[in-house]
Structure 1
Amino acid sequence: MKTVLVKVLGLIGSSLIRGIKINHPEYKIIGLDENQRTIQYALNHGLIDEAATDLTNSSEADFIILATPVSQIIIDIAQLSKLDLKKDVVVTDVGSTKQLIMKTARKLDSKHITFVGGHPMAGSHKTGVTAGKANLFENAFYFQISGKNTEAAQKIQKLLVGTKAKWLKVNAKQHDKIVAQISHLPHIIAAGLVNQTNQEFSNEPLGMELAAGGFKSITRIASADPVMWKSILLSNQEIILQQLKIYQETLNKLAAHLKNRDEEEVESFFATAKFNRDKLKQQKHSQTGFFDLFLDIPDQRGELAKITKQLAEHKISLVNIHILEIREDVEGILQLTFSNETDLNKARMLLSSSYKIVRR
């Protein structure tokens, strides 16, 4: 019987445990969390078999999962390097940045402890052990930092096979550049836009009340955990500062074009963005396996249920569903995501007779 120790039973940690239990119900799960209410909940609901007080209780673990903020992961790795652990133990993490973590993990080499960097690209606006769910990572990208020990990486994949995550192998530098541009920078922009809008409408509350639709959609990620994002930004400081500088230069150029009333350049700014965004729609996502279908749907009761019922009756599996914009008396845009092109085409043929396909 294998033993798995998970440090911090929040959204990510508890979801990983739930995923492990699907295929490995016989594995012993040890939970480590400072919040005693969390520990009690996990024990009462069978998420963990026993509780640990600190990492010194990890001597029997075959797997150690560090599901804490990046700053704490670095501290934990340093502590593990001083402990007597099992000879073949595999340590992994879920940190949102990887270069600093992988550099710190070299301390484990002298102890012959195998470390495999990881980062599941999934989350929720909900937090804590009660928010965890086994399918949180289903068809989500799960970065795994490529290294020499491919056997250890495969062990992690087998351990987490029940999560149904899509594994992507990259190096630490490549990972940090990718997530900085597609995740970290957008979070900064969303947070800044929300703060600016709140300040602009400080004496005009109607403005914030009307900030729905597109504004609400593009700023949704600003509701993320502030402590977590502080840790992420500081651990990926150099890359984020560089990308912020480039983004600020882009805004400054647009501001100059507006000031000069340069119609051609202003139009070009949006035309270039539209062209590049439309290219994203056309990509087949061969590596990640996601295929999107977009529909116009009327904003009326039961419409969403009708669509999902039709898909279920024709045995077409959905990976994700998202309403991009929906308002009273206005059609909304429904995004349906499939794991393969066959399901995409089946859904398109099935739904095109009743709904307008806006883009593929």
Structure 2
Amino acid sequence: MNKSKVFVIGLGLIGGSLAKALKGNETLYITGFDPKKETMEAALDLGVIDRAEPDIPTGASEADLIILSAPISGILDTLDVLAKVTLKPGVIITDTGSTKRVIRDKANQVLGSEACYIGGHPMAGSHKSGVFASKADLFENAFYFITPEDGEDKAKIRQLEEWLSATRAKMMTIDPETHDQVVGIISHFPHIVASALVHQLNRNPANKELDLPRLAAGGFRDITRIASSDPYLWQDITMHNHDVLLKLFDDWEQVLHTIKQQLVQHDSTSVYSFFEKAKNIRDQFPVKKTGILPPSFDLYLDIPDEPCEISKVTGIIGKANISIININVIELRESVSGVLRLFFQSESARDQAMRLLKDHHYNTYLID
């Protein structure tokens, strides 16, 4: 059987997971390249790819599908390299970048007419990184944006979606401008807000006296979780979607100004409406759905303050071969039920652990 050749450039968590998922399609032959030699060797040893390529031109010249998986700046640089390569007529080039307009513009500028660029953005991630963390089901049930331009060859779009169907992701086709606006609102700007909240806590003069980070381990920790993301990655993302973010800053400042003025005026009715409207909107969000921000699969439970009690809990879960990725003893429980918080890599692992602990008469809680 003649197999279509897929060339994945960048074999970290996303690129490696895409390669693994696409290997589930028996009609595809997966090759790969990574600038880190040890990563490429590991990808080959782990069976992530079928063949390692010595360089980008060699792998790209015979590929039917080229996937660019790197930070946005790296994708832009790789497009310059591909512009100098004689590619197969009709080759499809896609990417995994978090913003689409700047990559689309670069592709239109440097690629020849024989190559078909169709942007892509799989909305999934993990607390781990690198090829060793890659897994074939990383994108299952997650949103996967496909961002063709108006007038794009529909047969090419269908072909790309058919190949990517091995990821079992939920494909969503939108234009690059809409994509950047959407992820700016729901992903990029929230990262800025979360980081700003951490800066605000750190600037507070009570920080040293009261150990605010320890007190902030409850709800504050939850709403600022994404501030722990890779700084280089988020510098790259925000700089390449800056115009959308600057507009969102104007909107955000208006929201803050409004609630500030309501407090200045002691307008309790308006303050109540501010929180009521937010609650009503938030309560309409889908429950247990994979969204744009990385999900958190946490389980809370009550345990008595007795020796070896935590080890009993972890032993129950460990005997079932369920991995716990982190544990947190909650001291500030203003809005949280339970005294122990367990972090899991997937919803199914969390739910299985919850059933086991309930069988052992532990009180467990989920927080939507």
Q: 2: distance between equivalents of 1:193 and 1:3?
A: 46
Q: Distance in 2 between matches of 1:28 and 1:295?
A: 40
State which of 92, 95, 98 in structure 2 corresponds to 1:96.
98
Deviation at residue 31 of structure 1 after TM alignment: 1.9
Does the 8 A contact of 2:120 with 2:144 survive in 1? Answer: yes
Q: Structure 1 residues 136 and 295, CA, compared in 2 at 3 Å: closer, same or farther?
A: closer
Judging changes above 3 Å, is the alpha-carbon distance between structure 1 residues 38 and 205 closer, same or farther for their aligned structure 2 residues? farther
CA distance in 2, matches of 1:306, 1:281: 31
Correspondence 1:232 to 2:237:
yes
1:22 corresponding residue in structure 2: 24
User: RMSD of aligned C-alpha atoms?
Assistant: 4.0
Measured after TM superposition, the shift of residue 39 of structure 1 is: 1.4
Partners of 1:11 and 1:89 in 2: CA distance: 24
CA displacement 1:237-263 (0-9 Å, x = unmatched): 111100011102211222222223222
Distance 2:184 2:224 in 1: 17
Q: Work out the CA distance in 2 between the residues paired with 1:134 and 1:204.
A: 47
Q: CA deviation at 1:306?
A: 10
TM-score calculated relative to the size of structure 2:
0.77
Once the 2 structures are TM-superposed, how far is the Cα of residue 69 of structure 1 from its aligned partner? 1.2
Decide whether the 8 Å contact of 2:122 with 2:139 is kept in 1: yes
Please report the TM-score for the alignment, with normalisation by the length of structure 1.
0.79
- Paired letter, 1:52: P
1:6 match: secondary structure: strand
Correspondence for 1:65: 67
Match of 2:34 in 1: 33
Unaligned runs of 5+ residues in structure 1 are 289-293, 308-322, 339-346, 348-353
- Report the CA distance shift for 1:42/1:356 in structure 2 as closer, same or farther (over 3 A): closer
Kindly state the Cα deviation for residue 67 of structure 1 after the two structures are TM-superposed. Answer: 0.4
Query: How far did 1:227 drift?
Result: 1.2
Change (3 A) 1:212 1:359: closer
Residue matched to 1:193: 197
Alignment partner for residue 163 of structure 2, among 135, 142, 159? 159
For the residue of structure 1 that corresponds to 2:146, the secondary structure is: strand
**Partners of 2:224 and 2:9 in 1: how far apart?**
31
Q: What are the residue-to-residue correspondences of 1:135-284 with 2, within 5 Å?
A: 135-147=137-149, 148-200=152-204, 202-204=207-209, 206-281=211-286
Report the Cα offset of residue 295 of structure 1.
Answer: 10
Q: In 2, are the aligned partners of 1:31 and 1:52 still within 8 Å (CA)?
A: no
Paired AA for residue 213 in structure 2: M
Are the counterparts in 1 of residues 32 and 59 from structure 2 also a CA contact under 8 Å? Answer: no
Gaps of 5+ in 2: 293-297, 304-308, 318-325, 348-354, 356-361
Q: How many residues align?
A: 336
Report what 1:10 is aligned to: 12
Q: 1:326 Cα shift?
A: 8.3
User: Separation in 2 of the partners of 1:305 and 1:91?
Assistant: 48
Alignment-derived partner of residue 351 in structure 1: none
User: Residues 63 and 281 from structure 1, CA distance in 2 versus in 1: closer, same or farther, beyond 3 angstroms?
Assistant: closer
Asked if 2 retains the 8 angstrom alpha-carbon contact of 1:16 and 1:134, the reply is yes
Contact 1:108 1:115 in 2 (8 A): no
| Superposed displacement of residue 281, structure 1 | 4.3
* 1:75-110 alpha-carbon deviations (Å, 9 max, x no partner): 222332332001121110001111121222223664
Aligned to 2:121: 119
* Range with bigger deviation, 203-212 or 39-48: 203-212
How far apart are the structure 2 equivalents of 1:172 and 1:122? 18
* Cα deviations by residue, 1:36-74 (Å, 9 ceiling, x for unpaired): 221121122122212332345410111110001112222
1:75 pairs with 2:77 = yes
**Rounded Cα–Cα distance in structure 2 between residues aligned with 1:67 and 1:257:** 47
